[in-house]
Amino acid sequence: MTIEECVAQFHNIDLEKTKKWFGLLKVFIPSFVTLVAVVLAYLFALSQARKKRVTDLIEKQLTEFYSPILGCIRKIHAQSKLRFELSGASDVAWKKICENAPHPFLEHEKKFEPFRKIIDYENKKLNEEVIPLYDNILNIFTSNYWLSEDKTRQYYDEYYRFVEIWHRYLSGSIPSETLTEIKHGKDLLEPFYKNIEQTLSELKHKLKTL
């Protein structure tokens, strides 16, 4: 006895009608399975495409915004640390020279000349390396603004202000007396620097978990 005959007998249904329904099922079930497979494949491809877009954006944020800016920040901090160290050591060394020098200290200018060169070198370095690093950060921030996170964008105005004041002061367009009356200093940038480092770390972690 065929399965169609068993079903017809069990449900008291006409055998011909049963055969007809089974024939339709044999046609539609494979088509339905194929349709489901196509839909699932499409949804998977769509999910992968979305994931790739997110991954590509994060990689672009890291390579074209956060990482270059952090590199500049690290160099600024390293130079500042070395400058502070050398300045402190120079102060101690010069005091020792003055203490051991005869009175009157007739060779004052001659002995101080190497220390003056330190000051000249640091001033030159400020103009030729440090300020350009600040400028580079501002250029990256400006040209790749769209790659920054919302929590980073809030620091743009403050950073622009810092760099612009430096340029105006060095060009002589802001008197030193005016500079002392406004808030201006690298300490004001620390929240921005901290944000860059934290956001970079968060994006790297997010990229790994995708």
Instruction: Work out the pLDDT band at 33, boundaries 50, 70, 90.
Output: low
Backbone angles phi, psi at 184, to 5 degrees: -160, 120
Give yes or no for a contact between 194 and 66, defined as CB atoms under 8 angstroms apart: no
**What mean pLDDT do residues 42-63 have?**
81
pLDDT at 48: 67
Q: Dihedral of the CA atoms 191, 195, 201, 202 (nearest 10)?
A: 130
Q: Which of 112, 117, 114 is nearest to 95 (CA)?
A: 112
Instruction: Flag the least confident range among 6-10, 100-104, 189-193.
Output: 6-10
Backbone angles phi, psi at 155, to 5 degrees: -95, 0
At 66, list the tokens: 């956060």
Q: Taking phi first (over 0 means left), then psi (-120 to 50 degrees means alpha), and beta for anything else, what does residue 172 get? A: left
pLDDT at 18: 53
Instruction: Work out the pLDDT band at 77, boundaries 50, 70, 90.
Output: very high
pLDDT, tens digit, 9 for 90 and up, residues 87-145: 999 999 989 998 888 888 888 888 889 989 998 999 999 999 999 999 999 999 999 99
Provide the total of helices (H) and of strands (E) in the chain, helices listed first: 9, 0
| Helix pair angle (156-170, 131-143), 10° resolution | 140
